[in-house]
Amino acid sequence: MLTDTKVKSLKAKHKTLIALDGQGLKLYAGVGGTKTWVHRYTINKQPKTITLGHYPAMSLAEARQARDKNKILMREGVDPQQHLQIQISANITFEKLFYEWHEFKQDEWSSKYFIGVEQRAKMYLLPYIGKTPVNAIDPQTMLILLKQIEADDKIDTLQKIRSIASRVFRYGVGLNIVKRDPTQDLSSDVFKKKRSKHYATITNPKEIGGLLRVIDNYKWSYAVGTALKLAPHVFLRPKELASITWDEVDFERRQIRVSAKKTKMKRLLIVPMSEQVYSELRNLYLIDVGSKYVFPSPRSAKRHITPESLRAGLRRLGFTKEEITTHGFRHMASTRLNELGFMPDAIERQLSHCESNKVKAAYNHSQHLEYRTEMMQKWSNHLDELKNTKKITLI
């Protein structure tokens, strides 16, 4: 049997010490000075261990009381460990579970995403269900919460908040804290769908030719003008195009290899260079302004031009946002290449659209590169033909 004096004086020098009190109650004294009360018991012929608390926050007398309460539960056929888990589950709030999940995911996420998730939760979840026990949150509660977001026509936000809530609940299910994810019972059909973005573009062959001729006459920033000339040929996203660095331009392979960290899908994007693109970049490379960027800012070689400068360039040339946007070059290429009979999978891969099937994505990446190289050359040839003549032929 232990005494208060023995418990207080118990110290471990080289390894953890175990002091027995009786009826399964033990005190573990660690080398670092931590002392932990543990109750070992057997129920349904299975030996189990449950942590009661830490000394001195839990005294010897309190540890014995906790042990005795466990014995009463056992006489009633209740496993003390399961009983404790039920109590924890009944008391844990959504806010507490959210921050536990949030911290658990920190190493997997970028700091920007980590902060963004917390900000969304603070704005749309925690003020409404933060103090509510997680197992008291039902589908109806979540429906009302999400419908309030929908009422403000924030459909994209609604989808993100629903996803965050669902992931928190599923984290709790995995830890046996939450019975089920209440958002699973909410059909997507009860919510408005996100409106698809339709970027203005030009797909009429004659109008494409006119657009290219006008771009050739751009007379302001050389970097912006060259980027606009290349945009129809490479159909990168505006941010990807504007920020290309020279170490991403592989003249030997004749490829632009956009770093995964810069692409929307967070994967390496290979753009085969047609002869036209290769020649344009070679000429640009000879103009050494001491910048690592292919399209340096006119104000500082340490920065690149912005997507806004590309949009402004189109407006300077007289094109309105209703006629074409910088994203519109991608839609132009997608529409025309499909009309001209090129392989849809190769077009989607070159546009760097998401492939949900990872095996298929890897297959497409390896199998379509040669095809895409040929496709990009034919596309550049076609653009030149549209720009230089009124005659239009299939390719």
DSSP 134: G
Q: Which two tokens stand for residue 239?
A: 């941010």
Given this model, what pLDDT does residue 31 score?
A: 83
Domains of the chain, earliest start first: 4-78 (3.30.160.390), 94-190 (1.10.150.130), 205-388 (1.10.443.10)
| Residue (of 346, 390, 388) closest to 365 by Cα position | 346
Q: 206-246, pLDDT tens digit by residue? A: 999 999 999 999 988 999 999 999 999 999 999 999 999 99
Given this model, what pLDDT does residue 93 score?
A: 92
Given this model, what pLDDT does residue 29 score?
A: 92
Given this model, what pLDDT does residue 94 score?
A: 94
Given this model, what pLDDT does residue 277 score?
A: 97
Given this model, what pLDDT does residue 359 score?
A: 40
| Residue (of 233, 220, 225) closest to 387 by Cα position | 233
Q: Confirm whether pTM is higher than 0.85.
A: no
Q: 5-27, pLDDT tens digit by residue? A: 999 999 888 888 999 999 999 99
Distance CA 258, CA 267 (A): 9
Given this model, what pLDDT does residue 14 score?
A: 83
Q: For the chain, which ranges sit under pLDDT 50? A: 356-365, 367, 392-394
Q: Where are the beta strands (DSSP E) in the chain?
A: 17-22, 25-29, 35-43, 46-55, 249-250, 255-258, 269-272
- Please write down the HEC assignment for all residues of 231-298: HHHHCCCHHHHHCCEHHHEECCCCEEEECHHHCCCCCCEEEECCHHHHHHHHHHHCCCCCCCECCECC
Measured between its terminal Cα atoms, the distance across the chain in Å is 92
Distance CA 273, CA 249 (A): 9
Cα distances (Å, whole numbers) of residue 65 to 61, 99, 105: 6, 32, 38
